[in-house]
Structure 1
Amino acid sequence: MSATPIVVSSLDMDRIEALLEKMPRLTPELEKLEDELDRANVVEPADLPADVVSMNSTVRFKFAGDDKVFQKTLVYPHELKHDEQISIFAPVGSALLGLAVGQSLEWPMPHGQSRTVEILEVLFQPERAGEQQR
């Protein structure tokens, strides 16, 4: 289990747990997401720190040891529409949720590999922008 602390809004927590409950079975990657949610510090959306990745946040991140920087918006699976988005149910998407700028987390990837995701910047966060999430 990772020691990196994560913070998740109560709204995101409720919605993600509801989606997980509807799944006929959980993949090992989704079981890892469930484990991370179990250890998350859950706060009200208004109390979410401005530098934490929440659902519908746009984040810049990279993998440790790699210079390529990615910019993606974290969305629910049914909202995934283009390459600039990443699903919370994708391995990297699951790793992003709840991390703050400067934090990193080792996360299992497909084919038995694991990578360390590093958060560089939260460009947009709905809670910081004063938006009520959909």
Structure 2
Amino acid sequence: MIARTVLSTRANMNSMSDRPDTRTSPIGRTVAEDIAQRRAEDPEYRRLDDYYRPMMDLATAVILRRGALGMTQEELARRMGTTASSISRIESGQHRTRPDTLKRLADALGGTAVMGFEFPAADNAEATSVLVTL
């Protein structure tokens, strides 16, 4: 379920006409092509990309939702009781956001924060998904 949500968010992002990953740089590659090449060539880049990818997916969801609500970073910050610079850090995807902050963020955007696990089937266990509301 979590993966489907992320894929759904990516699909929404991919339907945008000005997708950042399709812009061509001066060297003739899109951002997506550049990332793919760097991941293939540099294990440290791949490790960091894997580390930050969940936060980038959350950042994309926050940006899209805030935009759909016509809300500025300043307004979202006010609703959360924080600063616009904190919202900017969250939206950069380069910040590991704590669960309590995710809850306040979801509340401010009119949603619900959930966390969970997905376990594949094993020898003596069925596949399991567990989601909890924060």
User: Which has the larger strand fraction?
Assistant: 1
TM-score above 0.5: no
Q: TM-score, normalised by structure 2?
A: 0.30
Larger Rg: 2
User: Which has the larger helix fraction?
Assistant: 2
Greater length-normalized contact order (CA 8 Å, ≥ 6 residues apart): 1
